Amino acid sequence: MQDELIRRACELLEDGTVNRVLGWQKGQFVYDITPAVFTSVEEVKNNFVYNDFCGANLSKYLRSESEKEGKVLVFLKPCDTYSFNQLLTEYKIHRDNVYAVGIECYGKADVEKLRAKGIDCITDVKNENGTLKISTIYGEESVPAMDVMAERCLNCKSKKHVAYDELIGEDGEVLDSHRFDEVEEIEKMSAEERFKFWQSQLSKCIRCNACRNVCPACTCEKCVFDNYDSGAFNKAPANSFEESMFHIIRAFHVAGRCTDCGECSRVCPEHIPLHLLNRKFIKDYNELYGPFMAGAEVGQVSPVVDYTKDKDAEASVVQKGGAE
């Protein structure tokens, strides 16, 4: 797969379709692969990486990349295409400046799950027909990919690319996932239990802002947490409750725009299951307003910010007549 992407990226660079490539490169370690922009064939050939650790959603980087001169090539996994569409809906990406290549995805590995299996100090990874062949400084390991797959990939919502200019590999279907099961478990808790659960999770927050910075829905010019006048300004937390509010406010802000890409949970150094907050909103939307998937189409309007006279004016028309 990696060779295929590199080949195509070089072709598109050489024929002048694009002048940059947005992809992934190795980070400090093999498993912390980071998004990167490549401007030459050499760079691509030397540094471009695509493997089971390439979980990062590249759509958000198009916010700034698509503002620049010339076209940028981007590789989008199925779930990334939803974020891409949502950003287009919000006028955050200049579509003309993007050449989007959809790529097949079988799910990405979670390095924490590997560590839990005692596999650490990884130097290389290869996926051979669903089996991860991992080299570590201690030797070779082999583990079924499913066993170490990230939660968001186990509960993959869609293998379908909802936006692309060309496709490498096969397009899939929207899946009937079990992503709301965990939300249901939390819903079943009593209010105290639920409060305790979230308090224990959210109090771990160190306010590194990684979730906010990686989130494709967090694209404000100036975040409310950075704005002194907003009343939610970043202040020294007097207690752990302050950090709870950060995540709850953030969940409200991305409600109806969150495509459930799961990047927030992936990047959280404290392993807070932040995606569950967003999924609760998505579940509520589905139940209250009918199925709604942010980013499924460009231009679709989330049900709570959709005011149409023929549908909604009725609500303001007083339904109860006169005195009773």
Partner 1 sequence: MQRIGVFVCHCGTNIAATVDVKAVAKAMEKEPGVVFSTDYTYMCSEAGQTLVQDSIKKYGLTGVVICSCSPHMHELTFQKAIAKAGLNPYMLEIANIREQCSWVTKDIKVATEKAIVLARAAVAKVVLNSPLTSGTTQVTKRALVIGGGIAGMQTALDIAEAGFKVDLVEKNPSIGGKMAQLDKTFPTLDCASCIVTPKMVDVGQNENIRILSYSEVAEVSGFVGNFDVKIKRKARYVDEDKCTGCGACTEKCPMKKIPNEFNHNLNNRSCIYIPFAQAVPKVATIDPRYCLMLNKGKCGICSKVCQAGAINYKAKDEYIEEKYGAIVVATGYEQIKVDKYDEYAYSQSPDVVTSLEYERLMNAAGPTNGHLLRPSDGKEPKKIVWIQCVGSRETCDPTKGPARGKPYCSKVCCMYTAKQAILTKDHYPDTDLYVFYIDVRTPGKNFDEFYRRAVEQYNVHYIKGQVGKVTPENGKLMVQGSDLLLGEQVHIEADMVVLSAAIEPSPTARPLATMLTTQMDTNDFFTEAHPKLRPVESATAGIFLSGMCQGPKDIPETVAQASAAAAKVIGLLCKKELTNNACVAHPNEMMCNGCSQCQGVCPYGAITYVEKEFRMPDRTTKVRRVAQVNEAVCQGCGACTVTCPSGAMDLRGFSNQEIMAEVDAICQ
Binding site for partner 1 (CB under 8 A): 67, 90-92, 219-224, 227, 229-231, 253-254, 257, 301-302, 305-307, 309-310, 312-314, 316-322
Minimum CB separation of residue 73 from partner 1 in Å reads: 24
The residue (of 64 and 123) whose beta carbon lies closer to partner 1 is 64
3-state secondary structure the chain: CHHHHHHHHHHHHHCCCCCEEEEEECCCCCCCCEEEEECCHHHHHHHECCCCCCCCCCHHHHHHHCCCCCCEEEEECHHHHHHHHHHHHCCCCCHHHEEEEEECCCCCECHHHHHHCCCCCEEEEEEECCEEEEEECCEEEEEEHHHHECHHHHCCCECCCCCCCEEECCCCCECCCCCCHHHHHHHHCCHHHHHHHHHHHHCCCCCCCHHHHHCCCCCCCCCHHHCHHHCCCCCCCCCHHHHHHHHHHHHHHHCCCCCCCCHHHHHCCCCCCCHHHHHHHHHHHHHHHCCCCCCCCCCCCCHHHCCCHHHHHHHHCCCCCCCC
**Which is nearer to partner 1, 40 or 64 (by Cβ)?**
64
| HSE, side-chain direction, 13 A CA sphere, residue 285 | 24
Q: How far is the CB of 93 from partner 1 (least distance, A)?
A: 11
Question: For residues 181 and 306, which CB has a smaller minimum distance to partner 1 in the complex?
Answer: 306
- Taking the C-alpha atoms of residue 241 and residue 161, their distance in angstroms, rounded to an integer, is 39
Pick from 53, 68, 29, 80: nearest CA to 259: 80
Least distance in Å: CB of 158 to partner 1? 23
d(CA 127, CA 109): 10
| Closer residue to partner 1, CB minimum distance, 67 or 112 | 67
Q: How far is the CB of 252 from partner 1 (least distance, A)?
A: 9
Closer residue to partner 1 in complex, CB, 5/88? 88
Which residue matches tokens 């279907």?
A: 173
* Least separation in angstroms between CB 144 and partner 1: 41
Minimum distance from residue 20 beta carbon to partner 1 (Å): 19
Residue 289 CB, nearest approach to partner 1 (Å): 14
**Least distance in Å: CB of 216 to partner 1?**
13
Q: Which amino acid is located at 261 in the chain? A: C
The letter for the amino acid at 171 is D
CB closer to partner 1, 188 vs 311: 311
Q: Name the token pair of 310.
A: 């023929």
Q: Which is nearer to partner 1, 129 or 316 (CB)?
A: 316
**CB nearer to partner 1: pick between 2 and 209:** 209
Q: How far apart are CB 127 and partner 1 at their closest, in Å?
A: 38
Taking the least distance from each CB to partner 1, the nearer of 290 and 321 is: 321
